[in-house]
Amino acid sequence: MLTKRTYILPVLIAAIAFPAAAFAAVDGDPAEPRIGIAPAKPVEPTSFAWPVERFQHTLHAIADRMRAERRAERRRERRELFATLPEGVSRATLEAIAACESGGDPTIVSADGSYRGKYQFSFETWASVGGSGDPAAASEAEQDYRAALLYASSGSSPWPVCG
C-alpha cells in the first residue's frame, strides 16, 4: 500500500531534478510533463511610477514634518527668551502701560502710523531695544519683553502719559 509519504517523495525529487517540468505552462505543449504546481500566468512588466511616486511622497512628508518641528522649536525658543522679564520690571507695571497706550491690543497702530503695537513703539525705539521689523507684527510676548527692556533702561519716561 502506498502511503502519503511514499507518494510525495518522488514528486519532490522530480521537482528538484526537473524544475522546468515542475513549472510547465498550463497552456504549453501537452506532451510536456506536468509535475507539481502550474505557474501563474506571465506577469506583464509594470511601471515603476507608483513606487517612485510613493517614495517621493514619503520624502516630502518627512521634509514637511522636519520643517514643522523646526518652526515649533523656534517658537519654543522665542517663548523661553521672552518669558523672563528683566530685573525690577513687574507684569503689573507693563499691563498698566499697555492698557493705557493701546487697550492691550498688540496689533494696534496709531492714526498717523508712527506708533505701533501694544506699547505704541516707534520704529526707532523698537530697534533700540533689539526689535526688528514692525512692532505691531511681533508676538505679544516679544512686545512685552522689549517694553520691559525699555522700562528697565529708561523707566517710565518713554510713556509720558501712561508711564
pTM (predicted TM-score) = 0.54
Percentage helix, strand, coil for the chain under 3-state DSSP, each rounded to 5: 55, 0, 45
- Count the Cβ atoms, other than its own, within 10 Å of residue 45: 5
Residue 156 has pLDDT above 80, yes or no: yes
Among the ranges 26-30, 37-41, 98-102, which has the highest mean pLDDT value?
98-102
Residue 25 has pLDDT above 50, yes or no: no
- Count the Cβ atoms, other than its own, within 10 Å of residue 156: 13
CATH code of 85-154, in short, is 1.10.530.10
Q: Which of 15-29, 34-48, 107-121 has the lowest mean pLDDT?
A: 15-29
pLDDT at 51: 77
Domain locations along the chain: 85-154
| Cell numbers describing residue 82 | 521672552
Name 93's Cβ contacts closer than 8 Å, sequence gap at least 6. Answer: 151
| Cell numbers describing residue 96 | 498698566
pLDDT at 83: 76
Residue 5 has pLDDT above 50, yes or no: yes
Among the ranges 43-47, 52-56, 120-124, 137-141, which has the highest mean pLDDT value?
120-124
Q: Write out the E strands in the chain.
A: none
Name 149's Cβ contacts closer than 8 Å, sequence gap at least 6. Answer: 86, 129, 130
Model confidence pLDDT, tens digit, residues 51-73: 778 888 899 999 999 999 999 99
Report whether 116 contacts 134 (CB < 8 A): yes
| Cell numbers describing residue 29 | 505543449
The Cα 158–Cα 114 span in angstroms is: 14
| Cell numbers describing residue 5 | 509519504
- Count the Cβ atoms, other than its own, within 10 Å of residue 139: 13
